[in-house]
């Protein structure tokens, strides 16, 4: 009977070998993916037990972990919470790292990032309590405040960029919410708050500046159409284009009218600068027809349309639809039809023009420091694309200055500073008031800030200047806040 | 004429003592580690606890010196370290879940360990030769089957954790299957040693396998049906696999015919498949096994998932005793104690534990090789192999090699019936190994050379 016993001993070896393999698979191969599973309570508890790094604006913590007496050890606190809610997002025991920088930089803030591996090992050996990295933002608190106060209780969004670097100076979405309501340790209260915020018709949790449902850009898109026209080489800022009272749309029985009754210029002709100044629909509609949908799309793509950006929060790509027929192209050329943008994208259009045609990649995180203040990451400004040539950029700048000095955007004038801008009134549907837009940069000769403002339902149909009256002052105060530093 | 000198085998009792000191030392270190991690100080009961553990296993050691001096020196130290570490983990979970004093699981486990050790001592003192057990072959069968089926008795049986393998008497609950496995190993050994000739010699060859006669298939069919009964009515794949695997293994060892393994595995797989098709609870187990993270599975149970999270949390080196969160798991001190160890001792610690089990089982099989009588061989094989299978079912269940079922990890898990049964197994293996390694009684060589015309050479 000894031979089969020996074979049985081999079988036992195989059985245990299987167990060694299967446990290795779980504890070594699969370990990190299991740890990252959303339902893993251990990871959450462990992250909570570690002091999460702060989020800083201008050296001051806008989000930090404060010690508590309960099992979770720390609670996330947001100072001036509502001002920064959409930038910070929230870090909730119930819902995890939700949205904003809290989510995008979670691994660094929580200290679980591989970049902190060495530090963790040292902590393990020395018994020091582990800590997350701190994240310093590019936000300018004055600009952020000006933007939030400008919007007040209107729904909308404001984005301000440094056109030279792409650094995001202000990122405001309204209405906002108090992320502190989601960070409590009373599960029921947090759940109630979350349900309430989600049920709110004004969607306070949505960051309208970079995501959300996207907006039709209205006349601000005429900047892209102008850029396409100037870049084609067939036009310059003084070119005379069609400027009748109505533009006959081919293949349809309907026409494209101007917002204001009557033609844009004598003899149904208007030069390009004046067309932009008064936001002449027929001029840009006919330009769109001449240039074609593909040219508009390509020009838009050069400004960043269609790019999946992470700032580090993921940005919803803005779109110009492909395969438009002529009437749709004419509509798209004035920012209607299915053209959809984020306020960030429109700020990038202005910033690109301001920066001599070069669009910089937008970013919100300036510096990431380990708990010992070693710099782990330092933002380096990067070119996203060259949208237009420096010459075209200069022409566009002059045209945009004209909008502010004598056109629809006079409300954005800053004494002693030349401002370049463009208004917009984006129709959203019959019977609903249009959105008011304004995008601008300043100073025109040495740009330091580019901004885009959208105020939902803030326009009045038939009055481009009305939109300018609502949105332009907000842009103005944000730019002033940056320039006065 | 060459003289054959018999080298007297050494008893190895001093090696055992050394290993025991080592084993108790490891356990006390672990105990101290838990105290430091949880309370920041050495546990005040360190000394008394250490002395208690040392006294218990010391008693077994002394008994071995007196009553079974040639017994295998590795088995007792391994059992000690496993039982001790199990106690430490149970104590650690007591601390996490605020159980103290006489109601703490660790205290109860210590009581059960004492009972187990006493049973082990009784076996060693009262049973001087394992062959005497062969007389009780059929009584063991009857008792074993009764124990196995006891949980199905309406009033007695209790359904815990989806399996009906418990009986409850007032506040006490008991898993009779744990004792049944010893009795059935005894019965299989006794039965097969009598019938092995009939089973192994008669038959016809098909496809290179020699298949037994139809009438000799009777016993394996009975065992198959019984194990299927356990699977279906007690809802316990683990016990089912355990008993049937034990029977097939012993059948193979007794008859040396591989066809039995083919038949056995075939029957088992077929039976499981039919059960899967017919019974909802089997399907649920399979779903939990194959797709534990699916929404449907999570709605039923996240036992496996929590165990996996725990093990993943441990990673390679573990969180350290007292520093993980095994208390987040269900049954962290009993059926799922392996993930608890995986979490706090890491893959390294889990490997160490598994290798301890492996050495224990292989020493048991080594005993089976060494012992001279067929009954002893089969019995020792059976006892060792059930232990191996049980480890496989438990660890395989939590690491998703097979569906998870409710069995305890030998020596490690919280549970009186299991612990007592395993100390009994240890006692029996020690007894058989003493017989295996003890030198054969010397026959006077002078008588042989003078009277016998032929020389008798003993082949050990």
Q: Do B312 and A41 touch (CB under 8 A)?
A: no
Q: Do B313 and A46 touch (CB under 8 A)?
A: yes
Please tell me which of the candidates A11, A20, A35 has its beta carbon nearest to residue B313. Answer: A35
Is the pLDDT assigned to residue A476 strictly greater than 60? yes
Which residues touch B380 (CB under 8 Å, ≥6 apart)?
A: B364, B365, B367, B368, B371, B429, B432, B433, B436
Residue B438: other Cβ atoms inside 10 A: 16
B163 three-state secondary structure: strand
Size of interface A-B (CB pairs under 8 A): 125
Q: Do A22 and B396 touch (CB under 8 A)?
A: yes
Chain A residue numbers touching B360 (CB-CB < 8 A): none
Average pLDDT over residues A346-361: 92
Nearest Cα residue in chain A from B375: A1
pLDDT of B452 reads: 53
Dihedral (CA of A218, A223, A227, A230) sign: positive
pLDDT digits (tens, 9 = 90+) for B386-414: 999 999 999 999 999 998 887 889 999 99
Dihedral (CA of B320, B322, B323, B326) sign: positive
Please tell me which of the candidates B298, B308, B392 has its beta carbon nearest to residue A19. Answer: B392
For chain A, the first-to-last Cα distance in angstroms comes to 93
Please tell me which of the candidates A5, A35, A46 has its beta carbon nearest to residue B253. Answer: A5
Nearest Cα neighbor of A112 from A62, A40, A61, A59 is A40
3-state SS, chain A, equals CHHHHHHHHHHHHHHHHHHHHHHHHHHHHCHHHHHCCCCCHHHHHHHHHCECCCEEECCEEEEEEEECCCCCCEEEEECCHHHHHHHHCEEECCCEEECHHHHHCHHHHHCCCHHHHHHHHHHHHHCCCCECCEEEECCCHHHHHHHHHHHCCCCEEEEEECCCCCEEEEEEEECCCCHHHHCCCCHHHHHHHHHHHHHCCCCCCCCCCCCCCCECCHHHHHHHHHHHHHHCCCCCCCCEEECCCEEECCCCCCEEECCCCCCCCHHHEEEHHHHHHCCCHHHHHHHHHHHCHHHHHHHHHHCCCCCCCECCCECCCCECCCCCCHHHHHHHHCCCCCCEECHHHHHHHHHHHHCCCEEECCECEEEEECCCCCEEEECCCCEEEECCCHHHHHHHHHHHHHHHHHCCCHHHCECCECCEEEEEEECCCCCCCCEEEEEEEECCCCCCEEEEEEECCCCECCEHHHHHHHHHHHHHHHHHHHHCC
Q: Measure the CA–CA gap between B275 and B234, rounded to whole angstroms.
A: 13
pLDDT of A370 reads: 81
pLDDT-derived band at B152 (thresholds 50, 70, 90) equals confident
pLDDT digits (tens, 9 = 90+) for B181-191: 899 899 889 98
Query: What are the Cα distances from residue A391, in Å, to A295, A320, A397?
Result: 19, 25, 10
B319 φ/ψ angles, rounded to the nearest 5 degrees: -85, -15
Residue of A219, A226, A318, A350 marked catalytic: A219
Nearest Cα residue in chain B from A30: B312
Query: What are the Cα distances from residue A30, in Å, to A36, A314, B309?
Result: 10, 27, 10
Please tell me which of the candidates B298, B325, B342 has its beta carbon nearest to residue A27. Answer: B342
Which residues touch B212 (CB under 8 Å, ≥6 apart)?
A: B199, B202, B203, B257, B259, B260
Query: Which carries the bigger pLDDT value, residue B172 or residue A370?
Result: A370
Q: Measure the CA–CA gap between A388 and B290, rounded to whole angstroms.
A: 56
Q: Do A23 and B298 touch (CB under 8 A)?
A: no
pLDDT of B267 reads: 85
User: Kind of pairing, strands A246-248 and A55-57?
Assistant: unpaired
Q: Measure the CA–CA gap between B377 and B196, rounded to whole angstroms.
A: 13
Q: Do A18 and B362 touch (CB under 8 A)?
A: no
Q: Do A32 and B312 touch (CB under 8 A)?
A: yes
pLDDT of B459 reads: 66
Q: Do A31 and B346 touch (CB under 8 A)?
A: no
Chain B residues 167-226 within an 8 A CB cutoff of chain A:
none
Which residues touch A233 (CB under 8 Å, ≥6 apart)?
A: none
Q: How far is B155 from chain A (nearest CA, A)?
A: 38
Beta pairing partners, A170? A160
Chain A residue numbers touching B391 (CB-CB < 8 A): 15-16, 19
Where do we find the tokens 């309570």? A41
Beta pairing partners, B214? none
Nearest Cα neighbor of A238 from A267, A272, A279, A265 is A272
Residue A3 sits at the chain B interface (C-beta within 8 Å):
yes
Residue B325 sits at the chain A interface (C-beta within 8 Å):
yes
Q: Measured in whole angstroms, how far is the alpha carbon of residue B171 from the centre of its chain?
A: 26
Beta pairing partners, A422? A439
Q: How far is B401 from chain A (nearest CA, A)?
A: 7
Which residues touch B238 (CB under 8 Å, ≥6 apart)?
A: B390, B393, B394, B397, B405, B406, B407
Residue B348 sits at the chain A interface (C-beta within 8 Å):
no
Residue A175, preceding peptide bond in cis (omega within 30° of 0): yes
Nearest Cα residue in chain A from B323: A46
Please tell me which of the candidates B316, B354, B378 has its beta carbon nearest to residue A16. Answer: B354
Q: Which CATH class is domain A218-366+382-483?
A: alpha beta
Q: Measure the CA–CA gap between B34 and B97, rounded to whole angstroms.
A: 14
Chain A residues 15-74 within an 8 A CB cutoff of chain B:
15-16, 18-20, 22-28, 30-32, 34-35, 37, 39-43, 45-46
Nearest Cα residue in chain A from B371: A2
User: Kind of pairing, strands B204-206 and B209-211?
Assistant: antiparallel
Nearest Cα residue in chain B from A45: B325
Q: How far is B315 from chain A (nearest CA, A)?
A: 5
Q: Measure the CA–CA gap between B6 and B441, rounded to whole angstroms.
A: 11
Which residues touch B123 (CB under 8 Å, ≥6 apart)?
A: B424, B427, B428, B431
pLDDT-derived band at B301 (thresholds 50, 70, 90) equals confident
Whether residue A99 lies in the annotated active site: no
Which region among A138-142, A252-256, B295-299 has the lowest average model confidence (pLDDT)?
A: A252-256
- Angle at alpha carbon of residue A303, lines to A377 and A286, rounded to 5°: 170
Q: How far is B52 from chain A (nearest CA, A)?
A: 32
Q: Do B312 and A30 touch (CB under 8 A)?
A: yes
Identify the residue among A16, A27, A40 best suited for mutation to test binding to B, counting B beta carbons within 10 A and taking the highest.
Answer: A27
Chain A residue numbers touching B253 (CB-CB < 8 A): 1, 4-5, 8
Query: What are the Cα distances from residue A135, in Å, to A366, A371, A378, B227?
Result: 8, 10, 10, 61
Average pLDDT over residues A7-32: 94
Dihedral (CA of A183, A186, A187, A193) sign: negative
Query: Which carries the bigger pLDDT value, residue A272 or residue B81?
Result: B81
Q: Do B377 and A1 touch (CB under 8 A)?
A: yes
Please tell me which of the candidates B309, B374, B388 has its beta carbon nearest to residue A12. Answer: B388
pLDDT digits (tens, 9 = 90+) for A422-435: 988 877 766 677 88
pTM recorded for the entire structure: 0.66
A317 φ/ψ angles, rounded to the nearest 5 degrees: -65, 140
DSSP letter at B210 equals: E
pLDDT digits (tens, 9 = 90+) for A125-178: 666 666 788 899 999 999 999 999 888 888 889 999 999 999 999 999 988 888
Is the pLDDT assigned to residue A71 strictly greater than 70? no
Mean residue pLDDT of chain A comes to 85
Where do we find the tokens 């031979």? A3
A17 φ/ψ angles, rounded to the nearest 5 degrees: -60, -40
Q: Measure the CA–CA gap between B196 and B189, rounded to whole angstroms.
A: 10
Chain B residue numbers touching A23 (CB-CB < 8 A): 311, 342, 347, 350-351, 354, 395, 399
Residue B53 in tokens: 């553990």
């Amino acid at each position: 009977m000894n031979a089969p016993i020996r074979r049985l001993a081999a079988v036992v070896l195989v059985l245990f070998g299987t167990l060694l393999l299967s446990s290795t698979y779980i504890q070594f191969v699969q370990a990190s993916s299991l740890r990252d599973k959303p339902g893993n309570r251990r990871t959450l508890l462990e992250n909570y037990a570690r002091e999460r790094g702060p989020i800083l604006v201008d050296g001051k913590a806008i989000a930090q972990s404060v010690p508590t007496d309960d099992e979770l050890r720390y609670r996330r606190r947001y100072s001036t919470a509502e001002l920064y809610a959409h930038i910070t997002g929230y870090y909730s025991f119930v819902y995890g790292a939700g949205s904003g920088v809290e989510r995008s930089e979670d691994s660094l803030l929580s200290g679980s990032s591989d970049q902190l591996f060495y530090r963790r090992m040292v902590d393990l050996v020395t018994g020091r309590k582990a800590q997350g990295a701190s994240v310093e933002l590019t936000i300018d608190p004055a600009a952020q405040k000006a933007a939030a106060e400008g919007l007040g209780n209107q729904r909308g969004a404001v984005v301000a960029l440094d056109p030279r670097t792409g650094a995001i100076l202000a990122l405001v979405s309204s209405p906002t919410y108090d992320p502190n309501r989601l960070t409590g340790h009373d599960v029921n209260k947090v759940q109630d708050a979350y349900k309430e915020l989600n049920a709110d018709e004004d969607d306070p949790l949505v960051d309208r500046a970079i995501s959300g449902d996207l907006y039709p850009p209205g006349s601000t898109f005429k900047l892209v159409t102008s850029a396409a026209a100037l870049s084609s080489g067939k036009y310059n800022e003084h070119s005379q284009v069609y400027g009748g009272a109505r533009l006959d749309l081919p293949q349809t029985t309907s026409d494209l009218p101007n917002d204001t009754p009557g033609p844009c210029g004598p003899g149904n002709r208007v030069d390009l600068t004046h067309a932009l100044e008064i936001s002449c629909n027929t001029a840009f509609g006919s330009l769109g027809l001449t240039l074609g949908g593909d040219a508009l799309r390509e020009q838009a793509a050069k400004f960043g349309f269609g790019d999946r950006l992470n700032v580090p929060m993921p940005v919803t790509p803005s779109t110009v639809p492909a395969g438009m027929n002529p009437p749709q192209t004419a509509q798209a050329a004035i920012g209607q039809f299915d053209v959809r943008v984020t306020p960030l994208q429109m700020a990038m259009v202005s910033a690109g023009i301001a920066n001599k045609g070069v669009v910089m990649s937008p970013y919100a995180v300036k510096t990431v420091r380990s708990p010992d203040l070693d710099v782990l990451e330092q933002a380096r400004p990067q070119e996203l694309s060259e949208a237009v040539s420096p010459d075209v950029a200069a022409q566009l700048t002059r045209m945009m200055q004209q909008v502010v000095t004598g056109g629809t955007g006079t409300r954005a004038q800053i004494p002693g500073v030349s401002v370049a801008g463009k208004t917009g009134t984006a129709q959203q549907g019959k019977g609903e008031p249009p959105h008011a837009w304004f995008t601008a940069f300043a100073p025109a000769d040495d740009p330091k800030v580019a901004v885009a403002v959208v105020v939902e339902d803030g326009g009045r149909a038939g009055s481009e200047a009305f939109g300018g009256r609502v949105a332009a002052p907000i842009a103005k105060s944000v730019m002033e806040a940056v320039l006065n530093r | 004429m060459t003289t054959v000198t018999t080298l007297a085998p050494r008893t190895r009792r001093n090696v055992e003592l050394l290993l025991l000191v080592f084993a108790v030392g490891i356990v006390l270190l672990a105990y101290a580690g838990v105290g430091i991690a949880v309370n920041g100080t050495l546990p005040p009961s360190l000394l008394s606890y250490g002395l208690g553990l040392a006294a218990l296993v010391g008693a077994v050691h002394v008994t071995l010196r007196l009553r079974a001096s040639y017994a295998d020196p590795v088995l007792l130290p391994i059992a000690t370290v496993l039982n001790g570490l199990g106690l430490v983990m149970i104590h650690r979970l007591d601390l996490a879940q605020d159980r103290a004093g006489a109601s703490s699981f660790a205290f109860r486990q210590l009581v059960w360990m004492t009972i187990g050790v006493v049973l082990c001592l009784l076996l060693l003192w009262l049973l001087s030769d394992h062959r005497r057990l062969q007389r009780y072959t059929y009584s063991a069968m009857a008792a074993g089957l009764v124990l196995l089926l006891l949980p199905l008795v309406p009033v007695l049986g209790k359904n815990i954790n989806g399996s009906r393998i418990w009986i409850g008497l007032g506040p006490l609950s008991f898993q009779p299957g744990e004792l049944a496995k010893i009795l059935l190993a005894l019965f299989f050994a006794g039965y097969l040693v009598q019938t092995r000739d009939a089973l192994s010699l008669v038959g016809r060859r098909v496809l290179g396998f020699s298949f037994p006669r139809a009438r000799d298939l009777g016993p394996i069919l009975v065992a198959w049906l019984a194990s299927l009964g356990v699977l279906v009515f007690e809802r316990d794949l683990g016990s089912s696999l355990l008993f049937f695997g034990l029977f097939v293994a012993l059948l193979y060892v007794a008859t040396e015919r591989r066809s039995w393994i083919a038949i056995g595995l075939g029957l088992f797989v077929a039976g499981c498949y039919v059960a899967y098709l017919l019974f909802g609870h089997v399907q649920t187990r399979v779903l939990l096994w194959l797709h534990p993270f699916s929404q449907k599975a999570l709605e039923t149970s996240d036992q496996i998932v929590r165990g996996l999270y725990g093990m993943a949390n441990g990673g390679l080196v573990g969180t350290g005793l007292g520093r993980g969160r095994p208390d987040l798991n269900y049954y962290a001190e009993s059926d799922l104690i392996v993930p608890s160890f995986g979490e706090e001792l890491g893959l390294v610690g889990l490997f160490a534990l598994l290798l301890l089990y492996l050495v224990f089982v292989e020493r048991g099989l080594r005993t089976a090789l060494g012992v001279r009588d067929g009954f002893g061989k089969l019995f020792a094989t059976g006892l060792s192999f059930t232990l191996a299978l049980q480890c496989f079912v438990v660890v395989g269940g939590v690491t998703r090699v097979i569906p998870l079922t409710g069995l305890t990890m030998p020596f490690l898990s919280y549970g009186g019936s299991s612990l007592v049964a395993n100390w009994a197994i240890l006692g029996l293996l020690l007894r058989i190994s003493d017989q295996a390694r003890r030198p054969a009684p010397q026959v006077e060589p002078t008588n042989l050379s003078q009277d016998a015309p032929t020389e008798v050479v003993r082949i050990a």
